[in-house]
Chain A
Amino acid sequence: MKVSTLARGLLGAIKSSAPALTRSHFTYYPTKFSKGSGEVQKMNMFQAINNAMDLALEQDKSALLFGEDVGFGGVFRCSMNLRDKHGNDRVFNTPLCEQGIAGFAIGVANTGATAIAEIQFADYIFPSFDQIVNEAAKYRYRSGGLFDCGSLTFRVPCGAVGHGALYHSQSPEAYFAHTPGLRVVIPRGPIKAKGLLLACIRDPNPCIMFEPKTLYRAAVEEVPTASYTEELGKAEVLREGKDVTLIGWGTQIHVLLEVADLAKKQLNVDCEVIDLVSILPWDTHTVCNSASKTGRVVIAHEAPFTQGFGSELAAYIQEKCFLRLEAPVKRVTGWDTPFPHVFEPFYLPDKHRCLSAVKEIVNY
């Protein structure tokens, strides 16, 4: 996957001369840490993740961190300085082989040691699909609880980045959402990323954290320096509203928060914004409560439409909130195409597409 590093370098160079290519499709809405006081520090998302892993390695001497190019700090700088601090037997490079990384991680976790495995890009997680789906997810179940790999966490950069094209932009969460036994989470920023990662590392089930890579540097928040965890399987209502429920995760949350502002201003529509956070298991209560209250739901994700995770949400909401719905559940997503290079601005479910969906279901 070295090509990605090269690609980033090249695209970085293009950035300055062709700003149109890298226009950002979202405005970042920072989160405030709500749980008590304590020392905080300004961190972007890669720093928050770095800080989480630093704490995890410090608190649990069995913990290992590995993947491609993790040793020198990672191509996104998430593991910066961790090798120097915790030793090269704990933070190390593996050969370039995703199925090996996943299998190796499962074996580490089989012994009870903690494994934090990095897959360099979500687009390259597919070679390890077999290890994750057939092995990691089913380990406890098939052995009748004799063996498990619960102390395993995959960290996987995902999502649109402006110029990532087919293999540096994918959001493969729906593939994994169809796999009983896994936990899948996606943070929307640094505070969430740190808390979720620490929760995943300690959770006794194999977890995948997809990290929207466009937020690594763009998202900056006041992050507590101490250890804390975010609850897994729990959605978060970021903004209360009575007219329309907007559901998303990852980067898309920031699009939806802006859509809520625009809807208020332009349409006088009051939107409730929900960050789903956990794709599997997901928080049916929070979603259904909101859908029942507003009667109108827009779900938005970057991944393609057909069989995207939005389909699961829409079907579930339709089944559980049928009598409360005032309009069909609307999905605004990436198109059913591969993720394109120069057409990215036309591909993404941006604020304009989301806003027109809101307009559509309010007028239904």
Chain B
Amino acid sequence: MSFLRKSIKLINSAGAARYNAKMLGCVSVQRYYSAKGQQPTTFPGARDAAFVNTLKLTMPEDYAPIPIYRVMDRDGYILNESEDPQLSRETVEKMFRDMLLLSTMDKILYESQRQGRISFYMTNFGEEASHIGSAAALNMQDIIYGQYREAGVLVWRGFRIDQFIDQCYGNVDDLGRGKQMPVHYGSKELNFVTISSPLSTQIPQAVGAAYALKRRPDNDSCVVCYFGEGAASEGDAHAAFNFAATLECPVILFCRNNGFAISTPSNEQYRGDGIAGRGPMGYGIATIRCDGTDVFAVYNAMKKAREYVLRENKPIVFEALAYRVGHHSTSDDSTAYRSADEIEVWNTFEHPISKLKSYMIHKGWFNEHEETEFVNGVRKQVLKQIAISEKKLKPNWREMFEGVYEQMPEHLLEQQREMERHIEAHKQHYPLKSFKQ
């Protein structure tokens, strides 16, 4: 009995200490507690909560929205010198060039889909900074799980133009062997897990991978999982946040909140404080929200996030706010559900590339001529590669049966042979010439 009393007392005082620490460190406006003099409770489901004697609904408005961290203003001026990441000219130039490369490649591949040369495409317009800024803050051994609009991460890691375009054509040099739709990239070498279409499925997977990494001796790799704010509505997102928290996984849950999921604006997607708002109170996860059009803000935030997840073996919810400047995909015309004026704002002075450009101008690092040359160079390279990739043969059709299992089982061998016999007899009806023999 006495032991029990004592332990309850201990639990209570520990709870109270934690509670106070929380209140002091909290940014939110929390008006609903009359905590003074109250003993924290010992309900197992909410050990740190205090009793109140007045009934009051806890309203969403009781919390101030999580602030948006930024480093530069829209004109490319550093707002707080102590937050300037002081990146070398070389690094900033690589950031700028990679963003330009992505954007230039996007424009041409978008057009080439319009001309019917590839079957599908998705651009990254307006979100270049969140890709490049986050990728730049990571190490190569960190494993990336993406949604489909993170090609900039691959650009930063060194995925080549020919690799992008070969994938879109599904030709014999496509690493994915022509099995998936365009923009479903993957690279073992660059630790970028192959994209798949079902939204959010990658999020709990990223958490599992992070758990496995954590168990490796002297682990110095984390996992970063990208997803849109629409995808965050899926059950898998909930699963992932909760598993990441309870199983303490070094994973950065990176939400690209660009305001739209195809045509659905974010106010029809959720009513809370974005995705960041779910982190701290909802799942007990440390959270960062930043300006996703500010490459330095994303960079700084990711640096900090990476340090945190590896030091603590705990997850981070990371929300980068931006605007989807392009259409959802080549199958979408976004002017059907939003105004051209609105798009224009985000395509000009709120655009991540123009912000970084302004910064470089202030630094005296920008050279108009070099930029034009670079863009023209990329244009030429992409156009040339399209011509090459288009002409390349597709993989041997027999590969259709490969990779279902590690080894081809008997019934698949049999089906492959059946198709061989069929093709032998009906050659003229199949596009064999375009496929490697």
Contacts and interface: CB of A to CB of B under 8 A. Distances in A.
Contact of B247 (A94, A130, A131, A142): A94
A135 B145 CA distance: 13
Interface string B175-187: 1110110001011
A107 B207 contact: yes
B143 to A, nearest CB: 8
B196 A146 contact: no
B425 interface: no
B161 interface: no
B204 A99 contact: yes
A5 B187 CA distance: 44
Q: Which of A102, A143, A205 has the most CB of B within 10 A?
A: A143
Interface stretch (B95-103, B120-128, B209-217, B338-346): B209-217
A100 B404 contact: no
Contact of A95 (B187, B194, B242, B410): B242
A104 B403 contact: no
Given A107-B205, A107-B206, A111-B209, A141 B198 contact: no
Contact of B243 (A95, A127, A146): A95
A127 B207 contact: no
A109 B213 CA distance: 11
Nearest to A183: B405
Given A131-B204, A146-B187, A111 B213 contact: yes
Given A180-B404, A233-B409, A281-B411, A110 B193 contact: yes
A130 B210 CA distance: 21
A89 B179 CA distance: 37
Contacts of B116: none
Contacts of B215: 62, 64, 89, 113
B176 A142 contact: yes
A284 B208 CA distance: 36
A211 interface: no
B220 interface: no
Contacts of A113: 212, 215
Q: For the side of the interface on A, what is the size category? A: 35 or more
Contacts of A104: 204-205, 207-208, 211, 239, 243, 247
A180 B412 CA distance: 10
B237 to A, nearest CB: 10
A182 to B, nearest CB: 9
A145 B210 CA distance: 21
A270 interface: no
Contact of A107 (B176, B204, B402): B204
Nearest to A181: B404
A130 B198 contact: yes
A108 interface: yes
A110 B411 contact: no
A269 to B, nearest CB: 31
B316 to A, nearest CB: 17
B188 interface: yes
Contacts of A147: 186, 188, 193-194
B208 A134 contact: no
A144 B174 contact: yes
A107 B403 contact: no
A142 B207 contact: no
A110 B196 contact: no
Interface string A70-99: 000000000000000000010010110101
Nearest to B245: A95
Interface residues of B, number: 48
Given A100-B239, A100-B243, A103-B239, A144 B403 contact: yes
Interface string A105-133: 11111111101000000000001001100
B186 A143 contact: yes
A146 B175 contact: yes
A102 B200 CA distance: 13
A150 interface: yes
Contact of A131 (B174, B210, B236, B412): B236
Contacts of A150: 406
Contacts of A183: 405
A281 B184 contact: no
B60 interface: no
Interface string A222-253: 00000000000100000000000000000000
A80 B289 CA distance: 43
Contact of A134 (B188, B196, B238, B239): B196
A100 B242 contact: yes
A197 to B, nearest CB: 18
B222 interface: no
Nearest to A102: B204
Contacts of A140: 403-406
A103 B143 CA distance: 16
Given A130-B201, A146-B175, A233-B409, A103 B207 contact: yes
B246 interface: yes
A77 B180 CA distance: 42
Contacts of A143: 175-176, 186, 193-194
Contacts of B193: 110, 143, 147
Contacts of B201: 103, 130-131, 134-135
A138 B196 contact: yes
A281 B174 contact: no
Nearest to B208: A107
Nearest to B251: A107
B235 interface: yes
Nearest to A98: B239
B409 to A, nearest CB: 4
A142 B179 contact: yes
Contact of A110 (B175, B176, B209, B410): B209
Nearest to A133: B198
Given A92-B247, A99-B236, A146-B187, A141 B404 contact: yes
A108 B212 contact: yes
A204 interface: yes
B240 interface: yes
A302 interface: no
Q: Which of B186, B235, B239 has the most CB of A within 10 A?
A: B239
B203 interface: yes
A94 B204 CA distance: 12
Contact of A144 (B179, B203, B242): B179
Given A111-B209, A143-B176, 11 more contacts: A97-B239, A97-B242, A99-B204, A104-B239, A104-B243, A107-B145, A111-B212, A130-B201, A144-B177, A148-B406, A233-B409
16 contacts: A89-B215, A95-B239, A97-B239, A103-B203, A103-B240, A106-B205, A107-B207, A110-B212, A113-B215, A131-B201, A140-B406, A142-B176, A142-B184, A147-B186, A181-B405, A281-B411
Interface of A: 62, 64, 89, 92, 94-95, 97, 99-100, 102-113, 115, 127, 130-131, 134-135, 138-148, 150, 180-181, 183, 204-205, 233, 281, 284-285
Interface of B: 143, 145, 174-177, 179-180, 184, 186-188, 193-194, 196, 198, 201, 203-213, 215, 223, 235-236, 238-240, 242-243, 246-247, 402-406, 409-412
Ranked nearest first, the 5 interchain pairs of A and B with the lowest CB-CB distance are A107-B208, A103-B204, A100-B239, A143-B194, A144-B177
